[in-house]
Amino acid sequence: MIIPAIDLINGQVVRLYQGDYNQKTEFKLSPLQQLKSYQDQGAALLHIVDLDGAKDPAKRQITLIKELVAGLDAPVQVGGGIRSIEQVQELLDIGVKQVVIGSLAVKQPDLVQQWFGQFGADKIVLALDVNINDKGEKNVAVSGWTSDSGVSIETVLANFIPLGLKTVLVTDISRDGTLEGSNTDLYRELAREYPNITWQASGGIATLDDVADVRDSGANGIIIGKALLIENFNVQEAITCWPNA
């Protein structure tokens, strides 16, 4: 499945390089019109990241996100700055299909486990951003990628699989925003080891060949941001390469 994405800072569509807020590219685009374009080209799911919220939960762009969700027909998953059960409920109440939880699943797994019980596993996507070291260990980064948690992706998964974990978005940080291709070996390994999880791949996509490589890796979906914004290809072309299922 093709999942077009936009990242937002202060209401503007942006892209970061390897998660670095100091390496930011702004796009003079209307967030709603951009998402509508993706929807009209056939996207069956859209992805929004509130980068203000991710950096400072007090600055979550909830008003804008509410407007975006209300203006779209396609389902939306949203992440960034979610720290409480009230914030999860707020997003679901405004029509968000799935809430994306990142650092908190590593820092406070007991809290996020409670949310699985409260809302159901189908409403929560875990977003695990990994640094892969020379030994091949996949440690999850937290706090907007500014620090290594020292916790492996396998440990995080073990905390949530018993609760019915369904969907996990995995980004190899070294590939994000680089347009250097995706880490297909990573997704191939995860799909093989955890076949019951729906894997969303993210990071490094530049060409339709990259899309095809991820499709063939065993991942179930692919988040595409920068390549669409700079018009390397469009959503319709990507769906032709990897039809929605």
Q: Which residues are catalytic?
A: 7, 129
Q: In angstroms, what CA-CA distances link 53 with 5, 102, 112, 164, 179?
A: 16, 12, 18, 27, 25
Say how far residue 79 (Cα) sits from the centre of its chain: 7
What sign results for the dihedral spanned by CA atoms 52, 58, 63, 68? positive
Full DSSP string of 154-220: HHHHHHHGGGT--EEEEEEGGGTTT-S---HHHHHHHHHH-TTSEEEEES---SHHHHHHHHTTT-S
Distance between CA atoms of residues 191 and 167, nearest Å: 12
Say how far residue 244 (Cα) sits from the centre of its chain: 17
